[in-house]
Chains A and B, each alone.
Chain A
Amino acid sequence: MPESIIELQGVYRSFKTGRTVVPVLQDINFGVNKLEFLCLVGESGCGKTTTGKIICGLLPPSSGQILFEGQDIASLRGAERRRHRRSVQIIHQDPYASLNPTQTVKEMLSYPLLAHRLVNGRRGAENRVNELLDLVDLTPVEDFVDKYPHQLSGGQRQRVSIARALTTEPSVIVADESVSMVDVSIRIGLLQMMMDLRDRLDVTIVFITHDLALAKYFAWDGRIGVMYLGRLVEIGATQQIIAAPQHPYTKVLLSAIPEPDPHKTRSKQHIQLRSEDIPRLTELPPGCSFHPRCPWYVPGACDVTVPQLALPPQAVVDSEVACIPLERGDELVLHDA
């Protein structure tokens, strides 16, 4: 059993808006192994960003525990708490919104260094800032240290965000849609740089994206977790998820995505949903929340019991899924529309 650096146990999170309570995350259980590439994928509103924030300790769970190196982060105090804060960092989606427009690159990167007393004075901070910029390929560094965010391109800003996340020498970085705002042609460069950082700096990266193809590229040797309406519905080795998806939602997603190859994408079989409407989080259907749309839905079962994430008994691959028929060891049978 590989050592997990982060472990989520029975995590729930809800938000109150007015009088309604929105359950954004329900019963999330998974671990992040040290130095693995883990991707969380799902559509908007599935709770992937909230999960990322909870991992970082930016949001407390409504209930449940987050263990960092085996310790519940809610119980950390003083120096230990500060160490957790330093060790887990996040890179936000939008580099236009997440960088302070009134600060230069140097100011932005020096602040955490000085606040956490990671360097000796201004001179030390300066040296470290140069090292960090070098690490994220913003070279020659003299061209960048005194720039304000508006003087940088989208890709360069995202590199600054990454450098900022690295200031505290974290052991875990949550990258929330970190390349979705940059152009296709430079996306892969950013991603490859982040993948290199793992090897160079021993940092575990949790990558959050809505793009399954990107997840496949990033976590080829790692794992993908698929989320739907606040629950983790399938988690397993990336190559298995892509080649042999088990959960109906994962199957439908993979069949729906167009591919950059005219012949392939036009001959692809699309699985038809029973309904295209996504239920609101405030009016979640009973049982499995995918059942009103699921083409393999079993009446009297899927709409009654909430499935638990587990390895199914008849499994041919070792992905964990949350699906009633699979849980029972039945085969999925397409529902007549």
Chain B
Amino acid sequence: MSAMSPETILRVDELSIVYRTDRGDVRATNDISFDLKRGEAMALIGESGSGKTTISLALIRKLPKNAVVTSGQILYQHDSNVQDVLGLSRRQLRSFRWNDCAMVFQGAQNAFNPVLKIRKQFEDTARAHGWADKTAIRKRALSLLELVRLDPERVYDSFPHELSGGMKQRTLLALGVLLSPQVVILDEPTTALDILTQRAIIDVLNDMQRKLQFSIIFISHDLSLAAEMADTVATVYAGEIVEIGGVDEIFYRSLHPYTYGLLTSVPTLEHAQDVLQSIPGSPPNLIAPPSGCKFHPRCSFASDQCQVDSPPLQLDIGSHLAACWHKDRLLASRKEDA
């Protein structure tokens, strides 16, 4: 493993997690490695059950009780101090969460305590992290609510039920960055929101990130959101990162048949008829995953080698990595299509 550059804020290194269940071990993530840079926005894309949420829960040590980290580490670097997240004591963990790394969960509708005013929820959060000055909290909270384009005074003194879904989502974003975390994890930030509300959330997030300079990891099944917001995109399939690279590399020169399959199954708004194709089959059972490349049963490029050998995540050009034996064939076939 190379030394961590000062630009790297978070490093996930060969992380494997299994869920112990009655039916056997579910290998939810397998040898996941990536670096997140300061100010970078990374998207984790993939189908449901691919392990996206497991990865993000591991980052804040919020995995369910039956999950076991079987190998790997998560390193967090701040002020040239490197911490091993998996080795943090309970006290250190308490401060790491929210102060350093905050998570905004899916479904903002349910994230607030319905019987407490928004003000109280901001104050409780701040106090739990050793911040007692209510005036200072208020000042910070109001400036954040303004940043997310809400009427700060009004929202601060509201109950959650007095806010619309989009307003709640924005309030939650403001609450998430209350303690100036360096990393913000967003789980499906725009799913279940209306189109115009989604647009507002995307704009607010871009704004916030520009002004507050934090790094983002967001989980989404929505490729358009990744195209719009991400600097780096990682495709997750069956618990493994099968491709990772800059957003342009992933969208315009994808090297993994799964990523390419996802891209060709999404309808667009272009003024021409879309030629789309689903990926055949369904995601594998992670208790007994297929041998070799886990995507081979659904892949049109699969060869004998794919059934036996699991392809390593290999560097192509620039920062673009992909785990596929047949990158060249994929690229060649795309040229033919074009």
Contact = CB atoms under 8 A, between A and B. Distances in A.
29 contacts: A43-B194, A43-B195, A183-B283, A184-B221, A184-B262, A184-B266, A186-B279, A188-B267, A188-B278, A192-B278, A210-B194, A213-B268, A216-B274, A252-B196, A253-B196, A256-B195, A258-B198, A258-B228, A259-B224, A260-B251, A260-B263, A260-B268, A261-B227, A261-B251, A262-B227, A262-B247, A262-B252, A265-B227, A270-B199
A217 interface: yes
Interface in A201-257: 210-214, 216-217, 220, 239, 242-243, 252-254, 256-257
Contacts of B221: 183-184
A307 interface: no
A262 B251 contact: yes
B314 interface: no
Given A214-B267, A265-B224, A185 B276 contact: no
B330 to A, nearest CB: 16
Q: Which 6 A-B residue pairings sit nearest by Cβ, starting from the closest?
A: A189-B278, A256-B199, A258-B224, A217-B267, A43-B194, A185-B279
Contacts of A44: 194
B192 to A, nearest CB: 9
A140 B248 CA distance: 41
Contacts of A336: none
B273 A276 contact: no
B224 to A, nearest CB: 4
B200 interface: yes
A310 interface: no
A243 B276 CA distance: 19
B311 to A, nearest CB: 20
B223 interface: yes
B265 A187 contact: yes
Interface in A170-189: 183-189
Given A185-B47, A188-B277, A259 B195 contact: no
A258 B194 contact: no
B261 interface: yes
A186 B298 CA distance: 12
A263 B227 CA distance: 8
B287 to A, nearest CB: 15
A74 interface: no
A332 interface: no
A272 to B, nearest CB: 10
B265 A185 contact: yes
A213 B279 contact: no
Interface residues on A, range: 35 or more
Given A276-B200, A278-B164, A257 B269 contact: yes
A277 interface: yes
Interface string B243-274: 00001100110000000011101111111011
A155 interface: yes
B196 A276 contact: yes
B176 interface: no
Question: Which of A43, A183, A186 has most B Cβ within 10 Å?
Answer: A183
Contacts of B267: 188, 211, 213-214, 216-217
A19 interface: no
A298 interface: no
B216 to A, nearest CB: 16
B196 A212 contact: no
Contacts of A256: 195-196, 198-199
A185 B228 CA distance: 20
A254 B251 contact: no
A259 to B, nearest CB: 5
Contacts of A260: 223-224, 227, 251, 263, 266, 268
A258 B229 CA distance: 10
A252 B149 CA distance: 19
A273 interface: yes
A123 interface: no
B166 interface: yes
A153 interface: yes
Given A258-B224, A266-B228, A276 B278 contact: no
Contact of A258 (B202, B262, B273, B274): B202
Contact of B248 (A155, A258, A262): A262
A186 B248 CA distance: 24
B278 A257 contact: no
Contact of A257 (B166, B197, B224): B224
B319 interface: no
A254 B269 contact: yes
A259 B225 CA distance: 8
Given A239-B271, A257-B224, 11 more contacts: A43-B194, A183-B48, A184-B221, A185-B47, A216-B268, A217-B274, A253-B195, A260-B223, A260-B263, A260-B266, A273-B196
B26 to A, nearest CB: 16
A277 B269 contact: no
B227 A242 contact: no
Nearest to A256: B199
